[in-house]
């Protein structure tokens, strides 16, 4: 999977490639599609949510520009695949999932895999995690109508946030940096994600 669907599409960071080789992706998808876990596509995980295609997971993490020392906030844990990959590339990962059945599955998988640097909670991720802020990096695994303001405020001064912005087939992958009281947004290409639902996202 990593060679064919990630490295072959231009991801060259050896740390990211190795981390993805180490994480058993089939554990994080619905059993009925486990045979497709190492293919190129996004897959259902239940509750109308998906696990992103391997390339886009790698691309978003690449855009975070991790050195290994960062505290990362992830919004949209799903079943925990991206959080586990991040746990191998950052110092600490704080992950929020609003769907309790997915969050419980993620917690169980993280425990089974004996990963100790991920902390999770069930909550509306568009509020962020204020009592753990600031975060060096923030990654959002669902498409927002705009950059959620609470997350901007929780981003460290030199931090980076990566998220898809837009709806339907008009989504763009964005890399956001704080500049004074505002933000600088870099367009990083097309994206296709489920909507970010919450107080500072799309309404249900």
Q: List active site positions.
A: 52
Distance CA 184, CA 38 (A): 35
Quickly tell me which residue has 């799903």 as its tokens: 78
């Amino acid at each position: 999977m990593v060679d064919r669907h990630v490295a072959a599409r231009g991801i060259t960071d050896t740390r990211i490639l190795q981390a993805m080789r180490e994480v058993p992706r089939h554990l994080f998808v619905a059993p009925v599609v486990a045979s497709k876990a190492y293919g190129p596509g996004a897959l259902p995980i239940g509750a109308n949510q998906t696990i992103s295609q391997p390339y886009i997971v790698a691309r978003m993490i690449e855009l975070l520009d991790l050195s290994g020392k960062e505290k990362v906030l992830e919004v949209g844990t799903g079943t925990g695949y991206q959080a586990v990959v991040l746990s191998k590339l950052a110092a600490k990962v704080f992950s929020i999932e609003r769907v309790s059945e997915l969050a419980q599955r993620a917690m169980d998988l993280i425990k089974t895999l004996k990963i100790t640097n991920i902390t999770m909670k069930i909550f509306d991720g568009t509020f962020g995690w204020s009592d753990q802020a600031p975060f060096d990096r923030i990654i959002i695994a669902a498409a927002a109508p705009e950059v959620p303001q609470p997350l901007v405020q929780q981003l460290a001064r030199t931090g980076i946030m990566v998220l898809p912005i837009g709806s339907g087939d008009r989504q763009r992958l964005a890399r956001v940096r704080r500049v004074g009281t505002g933000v600088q947004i870099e367009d990083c290409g097309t994206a296709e994600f489920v909507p970010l639902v919450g107080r500072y996202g799309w309404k249900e």
